[in-house]
Amino acid sequence: MAEPFPGPRPRSLGKRVTAGLRRLALAAGLAAAIVALALGIALPLWYFSDRSSRGFTAFVVAALAALLLFLLVRRLQQASRQAGGFRSLARRRILPALRTVGLLAAGLAALYGIAWAVARFFR
C-alpha cells in the first residue's frame, strides 16, 4: 500500500492553466478599467482646455488654490493638536514667523523704494 503524499498535492496542468488565465484576465480587466478612468478624466479636461483656455486656466488655478488651502488647514490642525491648542501654536510659532516675514517684506520694500528713487533721480 502506498503512503499518502506528505505535502500539498501537486496541481494538475489544467488547474494551473486555468489559474494563469484567470490572473491574466484579471490583469487585463484592471488595465482596461484604468484606461477607461484615464480617458474619462483626460478627454473632458482636454476638451475644456481646447474650447475655453481662460476658463480652464481659472479652473486649474482655483483647484490648486483649494488644494493648497486644504493642505495648509490640515497642517495647522495637526500642529495645533501637537502644541496643545491653536493659541499656543500661534503664540510660539505663527506670530514670530509672521513678524519675520513682515520685517523682511518691509526691508525689501524699502530697498525697492530706494532703487526706484535713485533711478528716477538720475534719469
122 pLDDT band (50/70/90 cuts)?
confident
Write the DSSP string, the chain: -PPPPSSPPPPPHHHHHHHHHHHHHHHHHHHHHHHHHHHHHHHHHHHHHHH-HHHHHHHHHHHHHHHHHHHHHHHHHHHHHHHTSHHHHIIIIIHHHHHHHHHHHHHHHHHHHHHHHHHHHT-
Whether the CA torsion 70, 73, 75, 77 is positive or negative: it is negative
Instruction: Please report whether residue 100 resides in a domain.
Output: no
Instruction: Please report whether residue 25 resides in a domain.
Output: yes
According to the model, what pLDDT value does residue 13 have?
Answer: 76
Instruction: Please report whether residue 95 resides in a domain.
Output: no
- Whether residue 32 contacts residue 24, with contact meaning beta carbons closer than 8 Å, is answered with no
Whether the per-residue pLDDT at 2 is higher than 90: the answer is no
Lowest mean pLDDT among 1-5, 30-34, 43-47: 1-5
According to the model, what pLDDT value does residue 93 have?
Answer: 87
According to the model, what pLDDT value does residue 8 have?
Answer: 66
Instruction: Please report whether residue 35 resides in a domain.
Output: yes
Q: Find where cell 482636454 sits.
A: 46
Instruction: Please report whether residue 45 resides in a domain.
Output: yes
Count up the domains in the chain and report the number. 1
Instruction: Please report whether residue 90 resides in a domain.
Output: no
- Pick the residue with more confidence: 76 or 2? 76
- Pick the residue with more confidence: 19 or 112? 112
Range of the domain at 33: 13-51
The pLDDT tens digits for 37-77 are 999 999 999 999 999 999 999 999 999 999 999 999 999 89
The pLDDT tens digits for 70-100 are 999 999 899 888 888 888 888 888 899 999 9
Instruction: Please report whether residue 106 resides in a domain.
Output: no
pTM across the whole model:
0.52
Instruction: Please report whether residue 20 resides in a domain.
Output: yes
